[in-house]
Chain A
Amino acid sequence: MATRASEQLRVLTGHQAVAEAMRQIEPDVVAAYPITPQSEIMHYFAEFVANGKVRTELITVESEHSAMSACVGASVAGARTMTATASQGLALMIEIVYIASAMRCPIVMAIANRALSGPINIHCDHSDAMLGRDAGVAQLFAEDAQEAYDFMIMAQRIAEHPSVLLPVWVNLDGFTLTHTADVVELLEDELVKEFVGEYKPRYPLLDVDHPTTQGPFALPEYYFELKRQQVDAMESVPQVLLEVQAEFARLSGREYQGFFEPYYLDDAEYVIVVMGSTAGTTKEAVDTLRARGEKVGLLKLWLFRPFPREEIAAALEGKRAVAVLDRALSLGNYGPLYLEVSSALYEAQRRPRLYNYTYGLGGRDTTAKQLEAVFMQIQEKTFGKEMHYIDLRE
């Protein structure tokens, strides 16, 4: 394998970056249904199909439920399969996502994160991604278009790894990343093809010489054991991710080491934990406050599922205070990410004070100044433990 790509800098939207990754991977089958803010991914990809840039079978279906069903069918047949969706589309898919995971279909999906209705809203939050929290899919969150592109390529390898064989979602913030043109470094087509390699399904349904039964009933005698196998598959993801990251670094020169990116985290006393594009804005806030001598830092989570609880606990242990920023509600309790971090820290000897903020629901903008305020608020020992909201009119 070549050690380093001759890279090209391009101005691309998140949509285009994801579509370019899909073009380079050239899956056998893509089934999709349009929904804002995902649709342009498929516009661009459909253009690649129409212009003969890829030989992918693009199946246009009548709903996301059908899109996911078609993906499962294709994947079980032995095809490398991808799709993309958002919000209500993902909600409609979710029934079949559980089945895709249980049938061990390595389907790679881009999720252009968008709020769930109601009220109806087309803008970004992470409510849709949280629908998949318990579904048996590995989930990555991208900070920018570059990461979305890189993760799409890495996701293919993770999903298809023999010890994983699960769907992988690449989350990118709707509009904020999908519709923003940013500078992206693409790899050469051949390098990506070489990196993802040829997909060799283990039990393709179309291999009629070796017939298999797929998707049968599993009554009390077997259901539990099959679910346990999904647990094992999910637990294999972290190690596979590390291996894929290392290989990707050799290929691209871009270092993704671990399950989260630390930014001034080592000596920080006050930390923000956040996923997605707001992590970039948080870096700006960290720089501003560091220049004033404040010991603040960021833990930008890439891998939400499986949740890297031990590594997160180790990184946050001994900090004075940590703010976990959720871009989704779990109505009736703290936010989903907060609950994960909180439970991860339970075994820690030196637990930080932990706070939960909800931000950015339905596309509410989050600025660096607001994040600076969060860093200052959590320094107060008497700061309340109730849910806090960034830029909300009460």
Chain B
Amino acid sequence: MLEIRWHARGGQGAKTVSQLLALAALARGNYVQAFPEYGPERSGAPVKAFNRIDDKKIRVHYNIYEPDVVVVVDDSLLNSETVKVTEGLKPEGILLVNTKISPAEVRRKTNFKGKIFTIDAEKIAESSGVGYANIPTLGALARAVDFPLEPLAEELKKMLGKKAPPEKVQANLAALQEGYERLSANGG
């Protein structure tokens, strides 16, 4: 079972991408769970979302304490005194951060010994016009955990297709793809 924990701030769409990942994982034949950190939702406050992905039916119903992967959508959380993004992260696990700083700098800030990936999803969000870093970060996550891009793109299309104009859908798909392609790793 693959367990993923997302860190973001309220309003950055962590719950949305965790749902997208769940839909895509089901489409490729996995069992999934996606759940937000339960509680009052406040824009800008630190939030978490979770995914479980497995080949067989998932029966457990409790929080994820020892994730295989941590994704940080907002790098200001690396400096947070109340949120420790690497808490419980398996030593052989993966830390993916949306940031302009290098993986080596992330390692210095977090002291995490496992694999570290970074993606400048903010920049992709701006240049592609999608505005939100969550979608390119999801693309980067797909690359980092070797998850195929195609089901993600399909589910993204379905999710946006009902409400968004075609050019918005295209921009999101491009941002997803770019996140996938631009993932950088070193020091890992």
| A contact residues vs B (CB 8 Å cutoff) | 9-11, 122-123, 143-144, 173, 175-177, 179-183, 277-278, 280-281, 283-284, 363, 365-368
Closest beta carbon of chain A to B21's beta carbon, Å = 10
Q: In the complex the two chains form, is B38's CB within 8 Å of A179's CB?
A: yes
- Please name all residues of chain A whose beta carbon is closer than 8 Å to the beta carbon of B58 when the two chains form the complex: 182-183
Q: Are A9 and B26 in contact (CB under 8 A)?
A: yes
B38 touches A11 (CB 8 A): no
Chain B residues positioned under 8 Å from A183 (CB to CB): 26, 31-32, 57-58
Which residues of B10-50 have CB atoms within 8 Å of chain A's CB atoms? 19, 22-23, 26, 31-36, 38-39
Smallest CB gap from B58: residue in A: A182
10 nearest A-B residue pairs (beta carbon): A280-B59, A277-B61, A180-B35, A181-B34, A175-B38, A281-B60, A367-B62, A365-B62, A11-B22, A283-B59
B63: Cβ under 8 A from any A Cβ: yes
User: How many residues of B are in contact with the other chain, CB < 8 A?
Assistant: 20
Q: Are A281 and B33 in contact (CB under 8 A)?
A: no
Bound together, the chains give a CA A368 to CA B57 distance in angstroms of 16
Cross-chain contact B63 with A365 (CB below 8 angstroms): yes
16 new A-B contacts, CB < 8 A, other than A11-B19, A283-B59, A366-B62, are: A10-B26, A11-B32, A123-B38, A143-B59, A144-B61, A173-B61, A180-B61, A181-B19, A181-B22, A181-B33, A183-B57, A281-B59, A281-B60, A365-B62, A367-B65, A368-B62
Q: How far is the CB of B100 from chain A (nearest CB, A)?
A: 32
A179 touches B35 (CB 8 A): yes
B61 touches A281 (CB 8 A): yes
Chain B, Cβ-Cβ closest to A124: B38
**CB-CB < 8 A to A11: which residues of B?**
19, 22-23, 26, 32, 34
Residues of A within 8 A of B26 (CB): 9-11, 183
The residue on B at minimum CB distance from A287 is: B59
Q: How far is the CA of A177 from the CA of B34 in the complex (A)?
A: 11
Q: If A9-B26, A11-B22, A11-B23 touch, does A179 touch B61 (CB 8 Å cutoff)?
A: no
